[in-house]
Amino acid sequence: MLPARDIVLLLTHGGDYYTVDRVARELSRRGAHPLRLNTEGFPAQLELTTALGRMGEEVALRTADGELRGEALRAVWVRRMVLPRLDEALEPSWREGCVRESLAAFEGFLEGLEARGCRFINPLVAGQAANNKPRQLRLAQALGLEVPRTLVTNDAARVRSFFEQVEGRMVAKMLTPLSQSMEGGNPFVYTSAIGREDLEALEGLRHSPMVFQERIDKRRELRVVVVGGRCFTGAIDASRSVMGRVDWRRAGPQECRWEPGELPADVAERLARLVAALGLVYGAVDLIVTPEGRHVFLEVNPGGEWGMLEHELGLPIAAALAEALLDEGAAPRHPSQENAWPSSS
């Protein structure tokens, strides 16, 4: 039996290290017991149970270290959820069914923990709903944030009309990611510039709609990590990168580096309110700072990366996440900024 104390479950995958290790260390420093769970190990290496009936509900998880009951868990950090790793010998239709069943069972297990009062970052329903990009843009605009003109469609004629409206300055992106991380082995579709020559090659829209936005001039880009109302800001200038000019994630490691970012107080407050309005405790926000100094909101990712900001800038994001995981039922703090180098971490 695993120890019945303040256990915090860290959900991730086998290739994820830096951020999980940092949060685990910060939790240990605060007297909690972090337990890492590589989600691809269910159902092959992990056993979980959800039991319901007259005696109430029981949720339990058995790992190589023993059995963990729901009442021993204080919080769950949903860092990453990946597909189960199943036997390759399974016939494809059975394999697909096993994946569906496994995901449904795992989701039911987590919902059982949440129903018992276990704190989640992020809350399950809110985390799923917050991935709705049009909803993000509507809320952001309602809160006074500037957003790009945006079109979501599979109508090629509408795309061509929108191209003229934005005077040929247009980019395309997807509504949902195809991979779990930038280092993942799955396909990853970057934000791409669309030229006039591309307007005759839109037949792919009959298979899937896409997001089209006006292309905003950049002085630099910001990744703002919001944790419980606190904003941690990093800045990057990929304008000198041929590949990364439209999407900084395509820049080479020597072409640009993260630097401490600055965020106006009113923008920080609006971002904190946006993350709270989405029902989230954590969100990674992408902004563009224009040459004139305007801050343009692009999106908020409920599971976005932040390790580079802690590693390169020393921003204490892991500590903030640990505090939020152990802060049962507390209301989000008043928005504050963490733009400067910290005195300690």
pLDDT 10s digits, 19-68: 999 999 999 999 999 999 999 988 888 888 888 876 667 888 888 778 88
pTM, two decimals, is 0.85
The one-letter amino acid code at 186 reads N
Cα–Cα dist 241/237, whole Å: 9
107: in domain: yes
For residues 58 and 191, membership in a common domain is answered with no
Same domain, 243 and 327: yes
Please check whether residues 160 and 44 belong to one and the same domain.
no
Q: Are residues 35 and 59 in the same domain?
A: yes
pLDDT score, position 183:
41
> Residue 2 falls within a domain, yes or no?
no
What's the CATH code of the domain at 157?
3.30.1490.20
Q: Token digits for 219?
A: 């002085």
Q: Could you give the residue ranges of the DSSP H alpha helices within 120-176?
A: 124-129, 133-142, 156-165
Look at the chain and report how many structural domains it folds into: 3
SS3 at position 70: helix
The dihedral through the CA atoms of 60, 66, 72, 78 has a sign that is negative
One domain for residues 229 and 138: yes
Residue pointed to by tokens 């449904």: 104
Residues 6 or more apart whose Cβ sits within 8 Å of residue 345: 310, 314, 315, 316, 319
The DSSP output letter for 72 is: G
Q: Is residue 242 part of a domain?
A: yes
Residue 42 placed within a domain:
yes
311 lies in some domain: yes
Report the DSSP beta bridge partners of residue 146: 296
In a domain, 290, yes or no: yes
Look at residue 1 and tell me if it is in a domain. Answer: no
Is 50 exceeded by the pLDDT of residue 337?
A: no
pLDDT tens sequence across 146-185: 999 999 999 999 999 999 999 999 998 887 765 444 343 4
224 and 209 both lie in a single domain:
no
Establish if 27 belongs to a structural domain: yes
Q: Say whether both 186 and 255 belong to one domain.
A: no
**What range defines the domain where residue 172 resides?**
149-215
Amino acid occupying residue 345: S
Q: How far is CA 219 from CA 26, 196, 216, 245, in A?
A: 35, 25, 10, 11
Residue 231 and residue 132 share a domain:
yes
Report CA 268 to chain centroid distance, whole Å: 18
Specify whether 134 is located in the same domain as 270: yes
- Size of the chain in residues: 345
129 and 240, same structural domain?
yes
* C-alpha distances out from residue 319 to 23, 242, 292, 333, Å: 7, 36, 34, 15
In the chain, the N- to C-terminal Cα span, in Å, equals: 34
Q: Taking 70 as the threshold, does the pLDDT of residue 187 lie above it? A: no
Q: Indicate whether 164 and 182 sit together in one domain.
A: yes
Q: Are 156 and 192 found together in one domain?
A: yes
**End position of a domain, from candidates 215, 233, 249:** 215
Q: 20 near 12, Cβ under 8 Å?
A: yes
CATH of the domain at 304: 3.30.470.20
pLDDT of res. 249: 57
Span 212-263, pLDDT tens digits: 999 999 999 999 999 999 999 999 987 665 454 556 555 556 667 899 999 9
CB contact at 8 A, 2 and 66: yes
Kindly state the average pLDDT of the residues 95-111: 90
> pLDDT tens, 200-214?
888 888 888 989 999
